[in-house]
Amino acid sequence: MTRGGGKAFVYTGPFVTGSGGPPRTLIDLSSWGTFTRSTEGSYLTGAATTGAAAFMAWATANTRRLEDRGDGNGAMLLLEGSSTNYLQYSSDFVSPWVTVGGLTADYANAPDGTLVADRLLRGSASYCTYQNYATATSTVTHSSYIRATAGTSFMRRAVVGGGLALISGGFVEATASTTWQRVAFSYSELVTDSRYAICCDTRDYSGIGGSTATASDGIWTLQQAERLAFATSPIRTTGATASRGADVLSAAMSQVSASMTNGGMQFDVAPIWSSSEGIAHATDKTLFSYAEDDSERIFFVVSGGSIYIRVTSGGVTKVTSNALTFSAHQKLTVTVDGSAGTITVAGATTGNGTVTGTSWTRTTGPTIYIGNRQGATQPAFVRLGRYINAA
């Protein structure tokens, strides 16, 4: 993995579009600019997701995460804002976890190849393993990595109220195989009473849209609860909650070509959230910030119950894409052209195409930020393709 520093990578061959040759690369995000993150961060490496092969690694502080999810998109730069895992002992079911039923600690290798994943074996109608955690009046996302001990197995992750009362919408179910998968659900807490994160809950959920009481035999690790509308990369904890610092990528504006400010540029972006999750999150997610305020940006914006990519200059909207729909980690190819005042999106489920607005000439600040604004505000929570190209 690469650390911060270095100059922009510039492709020195001729600029040819289409099938005639490669595009002209403006910057290579694997080495360009200065990168910081105050903590470690996890990322996927593209290896097989079987129980035997590790497919997750941990980048140390101030180290970029070029994540390959094995989806054919290759390694893309992961840029996330800060987040906190409010569950203690994310991979060990010890106190404050309360376990009722069979538990085998350190039964199998976790996704990062370490022997920390625990087996939970339950008959039907058991509330299994749970932990009281710090609730908040906000949207919360719970996630876990799971796989069956052998063959396939029913698995359920849930959150329940005081007295372990079931909560509609507060659970996710899966028929797991021996291949690791991450399950997650989001719901709006807005509560004042106790809440319990619960793993391997095998009780009857049919009254609130789930399955009936079903036995389970599975392997669990990297339990997480975040105050976001979507799950971010795993944050491991032991006896205390833990936070991941924000990824911050910046450079002097002098390193940025005219194509990236007022001309044409093209980039690939794969949000780690779906369009519906982005709408639920309801905050701007900045991709490129050319000044220390909101005046010069390219960003995702939520408006009227839909999500768009917008370009502003001088604090004025210059062009906004069509309303977009897409799944989490779906790659979008975006082209903006300042002189033409256009934005083009390809790769979305709906909303692809070109929109023409008004041309722009930016008043830039001394620093460009990618993936957020100055001070790590308005983080994008996305993966960006390694190369930003001229268009």
How confident is the model over 105-120, as pLDDT tens digits?
999 999 999 999 999 9
Question: Residues 6 or more apart from 124 whose CB is under 8 A from it?
Answer: 202, 203, 213, 214, 215
Give 213-226 pLDDT, tens digit per residue: 999 999 999 999 99
Q: Which of 119, 104, 120 is closest to 201 using CA atoms?
A: 120
Q: Is the pTM of this model over 0.75?
A: yes
Please check whether residue 75 is in contact with residue 67, taking contact to mean a CB–CB distance below 8 angstroms. Answer: yes
Structural contact between residues 384 and 79, judged by C-beta atoms closer than 8 angstroms: yes
pLDDT at 128 over 90: no
Please provide residue 115's backbone torsions phi and psi, each rounded to the nearest 5 degrees: -85, 75
Strand partners for 197:
131, 159
Take residue 216 and report the two structure tokens written for it. 């389970």
% of residues, the chain, pLDDT over 70:
93
pLDDT reported for residue 153: 97
CA distance 212 to 238: 33
pLDDT in tens, 52-94: 689 999 999 999 999 999 999 999 999 999 999 999 999 999 9
Q: Which two three-digit tokens encode residue 275?
A: 């369009």
| Terminal C-alpha separation, the chain | 28
340, 264 contact by CB (below 8 A): yes
Q: What is the pLDDT of residue 101?
A: 83
- Structurally, at CATH architecture level, domain 18-81+247-390 sits in Sandwich (2.60)
The yes/no answer on whether domain 84-243 falls in CATH 3.30.1540.20 is no
Count Cβ atoms within 10 A of the Cβ of residue 344 and give its class: 0-12 exposed, 13-18 middle, 19 or more buried.
Answer: buried
3-state helix, strand, coil in the chain (%, to 5): 5, 45, 50
Domains 18-81+247-390 and 84-243 share a fold: yes
What residue segments make up the domains of the chain, in order of their start? Answer: 18-81+247-390, 84-243
